[in-house]
Structure 1
Amino acid sequence: MPLMLPSESAAARSIVGVADDLFAAVRGEGETRIRSGVLIVVDGLGAISLRAHAGHARFMTGHMAKRDVAMSVFPSTTAAALTSILTGAWPGEHGLVGYRVLDRARDRLVNQLSEWEAAGVDPLVWQASPTVFERAADAGHPSFALGVAAYAHSGFTHATLRGAEFVSVASAARRIETAYDLAARHEGAIVYCYLADVDKAGHKHGIASPEWIAALEDVDAALSRAVPEGVGVVVTADHGMLDVPPHRQSVFDETNQGMAEVRHFGGEPRMVHLYLNDDADHDRAAALWRADTDGIADVATRADAIAAGMFGPHVTDAAASRIGDLVIAARGNRALYDGTAADQRGRGMIGQHGSLTPEERQVPLIRLGALGR
């Protein structure tokens, strides 16, 4: 049985193309024309968790109507979702289909956020979809991308931010201030501002923690500064998250029949890509994994997942080669771990994402400044 996306309103927005919509407003297309545009992505901030903590985010929730949400992609993880926002392409097109995916040419898993250089992966080849910044440059518009200095020259940055001038700014508050200043000084500019603190606090401490609330309050306070006249701002996120307590972790090792068919255990704990041995019977392996994950996850073959549109309406051959032979999406607040792996540190992570729940896929889509109501 194939995986199926949960039903959602036909009017539901997608994060795919949010940056291009902002650029269209800069060009004067549509109902609103703006002098320049700022896109702020708060990594890991789901719409449901934001509204649940409205008292700690009065500015954001005060500017957020009921309809001001968008849906993340599948998998609901940073590598896939940020790339979709910034290219206007679905994961099946841009090819970043998970957190750790298989480079079949080298027969190794590649962390899509941090292992480009170590794996010898060329960002221009692996992620060939043009970015909104490249489209802006072609049209004669300046663009800037604000983040921390450590990300300035990473493979993921070259894959997703090419065409933009990278500006290193340490704190979230200073980053937003700088973004607004750049937008005010550069007519027709697109300015991208990435904020990671909420996501980091959620992974380490959980979204019910004082640390997560403090990170949320910091972002909310930073966003409350006045937007320069004529500048339009969109605040969104790549995905949300939920907390996975230790007793909801499921660990798979040699005692599970399905593991005998697995060559690489990729993806992430809430959205696993299983790459099988060359001689494996995929249907038999799927049946074994459905038995082992009964009640905690949904299992599909690669063909079924693609046919169901899980990775978008079109999947390139390159993207398809990176999708697991089996795709396993965790239900509820469950997580699945490779018990045979030497490094088990990931099992200490509390806040998680990657699967299909509303907590993970619904994100805010807040308009401020010249785009505000």
Structure 2
Amino acid sequence: MSDWRAHTGHARALTAGMVKKDVAQSVFPSTTAAALTSIVTGVWPGEHGLVGYRVLDASRDVLVNQLSGWETDGIDPLTWQSATTIFERVGRAGHESFAVGFAGYAHSGFTKATLRGAEFVAATTAAARIEVAYALAQEHPGSLVYCYLPEVDKAGHKYGIASREWIAALEDIDAALAARVPPAVGVLVTSDHGMVDVAANRQVVLEEAHLRGVRHVGGEPRMLHAYLEPEVDTVEVIARWRADLEGLADIVTREEAVLAGLFGPTVTPAASARIGDLLAIARGTWAVYDGTASDQRGRGMIGQHGALTPEERQVPVIRLGAFAR
């Protein structure tokens, strides 16, 4: 959810019993591939290895999309994301688990990487998914049910936060979750990340002159991974990026990011190899784009996330049913 405290009037059922401490911090980068995987594994990106939207597969020297590119980019979900999921742990403890989502996600690589161990159940609308999730929890006592509701996020990306479309999506989710929770069923409602709006005049485009010595640009506009050419003068590139993006983004090296614990207390060798030599972490409501890339569809995205602002990292944790305070 994005800047959700400013829109509690559109989520009255969800926020009625909330208090100030009913919040959590998303991981870094505050992006879907990294944050959802942390929710369903219980470990930081530095451990599960999904450290951004697009990252380098160093063994092939190609960028891979860790959200939607598992099949097209040739990533093995069972080895690329090797952390045990909560569903696998629940199964080992003798309990059933279910994942409720869109039918199109049932066999995706991202689902295989993050929801393995759960039985996938498809439903269309948000209300239908919530209804199915409640029914599964009631019919299978002791089970774990995960229900994915991406409508608010999608509306934010396309139309921006606080747009009529974003508010309508929030109100739909609120209405669906207002349904009575079955007896003895506890519900936790949270989000993988928040969002900020990026205006067109806050889109910074890096052209060839800025990208000298850079072999690949991964990540996403609010948190770029820059992978350098092998023989480049790293010190010169760092100085140039810091000068070019002064006041717009913080430029840190892989070593600085790992030492600061941005990806968590533990960073595996596999995860480290996927982190850029340099990271450009956007400040405020700026976004940084690779102007030499052929695909510029992201330039039309209004709501964005990935960086370190409170709006992107602070998320609600709402307890319903048996978990209500």
- Band the TM-score falls in, shorter-chain normalisation: over 0.9
Asked whether 1:340 is paired with 2:292, we answer: yes
Q: Over residues 53-106 of structure 1, what are the superposed CA-to-partner deviations in whole Å (9 max), with x where a residue is unaligned?
A: 111111112122111000000000000000001001100000000000000111
Q: Is 2:70 the partner of 1:152?
A: no
Instruction: Tell me the TM-score normalized by structure 1.
Output: 0.86
1:81-96 residue pairs with structure 2 within 5 A?
A: 81-96=35-50
Identical aligned residues as a percent: 67
State the match for 1:113 in structure 2.
67
1:104 paired residue number: 58
Partners of 1:144 and 1:190 within 8 A in 2? yes
Match of 1:179 among 127, 133, 140: 133
Aligned partner (choices 135, 138, 150) of residue 196 of structure 1:
150
1:65 aligns with 2:16: no
**How far is the alpha carbon of 1:334 from its aligned partner?**
0.2
Counterpart of 1:19?
none
| Paired letter, 1:292 | D
List per-residue Cα deviations over 1:285-341 (Å, max 9, x = no partner). 111100110000000110111001010000000000000000110000000000001
Structure 1 spans left out of the alignment, 5+ residues: 1-44
**1:234 partner SS:** strand
In the alignment, what sits opposite 2:84?
A: 130
User: How much does 1:280 deviate?
Assistant: 1.5
How far apart in 2 are the matches of 1:234 and 1:283?
46
**Do residues 267 (structure 1) and 219 (structure 2) align?**
yes
Tell me how far 1:110 sits from its aligned partner: 0.7
Give the Cα separation in 1 of the matches to 2:265 and 2:236: 27
Instruction: Report the CA distance between 1:162 and its aligned residue.
Output: 0.1
- Alignment check: 8 A CA contact 1:282 1:301 kept: no
Q: What SS is found at the alignment partner of 2:276? A: coil
Q: Does 1:278 align with 2:222?
A: no
Q: Is the 8 A contact 1:50 1:61 kept in 2?
A: no
CA offsets 1:167-187 (integer angstroms, 9 cap, x no match): 011110010011000000001
SS at match of 1:299: strand
Partner Cα separation in structure 1 for residue 181 and residue 107 of structure 2: 29
Number of the residue aligned with 2:95: 141
For the residue of structure 2 that corresponds to 1:116, the secondary structure is coil
State the aligned residue count: 325
Give distance in 1, aligned partners of 2:129 and 2:279: 37
Q: Is the 8 A contact 1:84 1:94 kept in 2?
A: yes
Unaligned regions of 5+ residues in structure 2, if any? none
Alpha-carbon distance between aligned partners in 1 of 2:179 and 2:123, rounded to the nearest angstrom = 17
Q: CA RMSD in A?
A: 0.7
For residue 291 of structure 1, give the secondary structure of its aligned residue in structure 2.
Answer: helix
Provide the residue aligned with 1:309 in structure 2.
261
Give the Cα–Cα distance (whole angstroms) in 1 for the partners of residues 258 and 288 of structure 2: 22
The question of 1:327 aligning with 2:274 is answered: no
Secondary structure of 2:72's partner? helix
Q: After TM superposition, what 4+ stretches of structure 1 lie above 4 angstroms from structure 2? A: none
1:239 aligned counterpart, secondary structure? coil
